[in-house]
Amino acid sequence: MRIVVQEQPFDFGAEAAAFATNRHDMGAVVTFTGIVRDISGDLSAMEIEHYPGMTAKALEKIAAEAASRWSLGDALVIHRHGRMVPGEMIMMVATAAPHRADAFEAAEFLMDYLKSRAPFWKKEIGKDGSAWVAAKDADEDALTRW
Amino acid sequence: MDVLYFAWVRERIGIPKETVDTQAGTVADLVAELAAREDRYAAAFADTSALRVALDQELSDFDASLTGVREVAFFPPMTGG
């Protein structure tokens, strides 16, 4: 398992290819990538704050939980912090498993948990001001299905 | 102990971190102590249902004991991903 928390961009293609290479016992690799989106047309940037002492630990705990629940060969989580503009990649997860159901489910589990249990906070910087993104009840509810 | 603030809690209180000398037994006791200090603290801790707390970098609860705890962090619900 590999957990990376960094400010600089990551190369999604290279990370996905490296993750999927030389896996003779894994039949499935699933990847997910989160991108800064600008729905209103007003977003200048997204600033992501995190809790340096806790972030990696929290992500490792979530990944270990995924590995204990599904037959998982490997998992990768990369999450950025700092300032990003619309279109930039914020984070990615990748899961490798012998069969695709495990890879898909574990990737969804990782996403659900790191949305509400990893110490990141998003702030949207608009043309007329900035605002912290509020957590959605649906994000918390999503955890109950696991 | 060290007390850390993140996101709007940090902005409302005006500092990211401070060292607090306290005899508070639980997180709730510490919150009451901090909220009584100044308006900016009172504003940040007005509704603890809107806050989360971590003790030594692990998510915890407001009724948790502070015995042996070295670092307390207060922040809004997380919005990663």
Give the model confidence (pLDDT) of B7-42 as tens digits: 999 999 999 999 999 999 999 999 999 999 999 999
pLDDT at A137: 86
Q: Is there a domain that residue A58 lies in?
A: yes
**What percentage of chain B reaches a pLDDT higher than 70?**
100
For chain B, give every domain's residue range.
Answer: 2-75
Chain B residues in contact with A49 by the CB 8 A cut-off are 6-7, 10
Residue A145 buriedness (CB in 10 A; 0-12 / 13-18 / 19+): exposed
Flag whether residue A43 sits within 8 Å of chain B, measured between CB atoms. no
Chain B residues in contact with A3 by the CB 8 A cut-off are none
Give the model confidence (pLDDT) of A38-72 as tens digits: 988 899 999 999 999 999 999 999 999 999 999 99
**CATH code of the domain made up of B2-75:** 3.10.20.30
Flag whether residue A120 sits within 8 Å of chain B, measured between CB atoms. yes
Characterize the bridge pairing of strands A28-35 and A89-97: antiparallel
Q: Is there a domain that residue A23 lies in?
A: yes
Entry pTM = 0.94
Size of interface A-B (CB pairs under 8 A): 73
| HEC sequence for A125-139 | EECCEEEECCCCHHH
Task: Give residue A50's domain range.
Answer: 2-135
pLDDT at A138 over 90: no
- Report, as an integer, the average pLDDT of A100-125: 96
Structure ipTM: 0.95
pLDDT at A61: 95
Average pLDDT, chain A: 95
| Residue closest to A53 by CA, chosen among B6, B68, B66 | B6
pLDDT at B80: 93
pLDDT at B47 over 90: yes
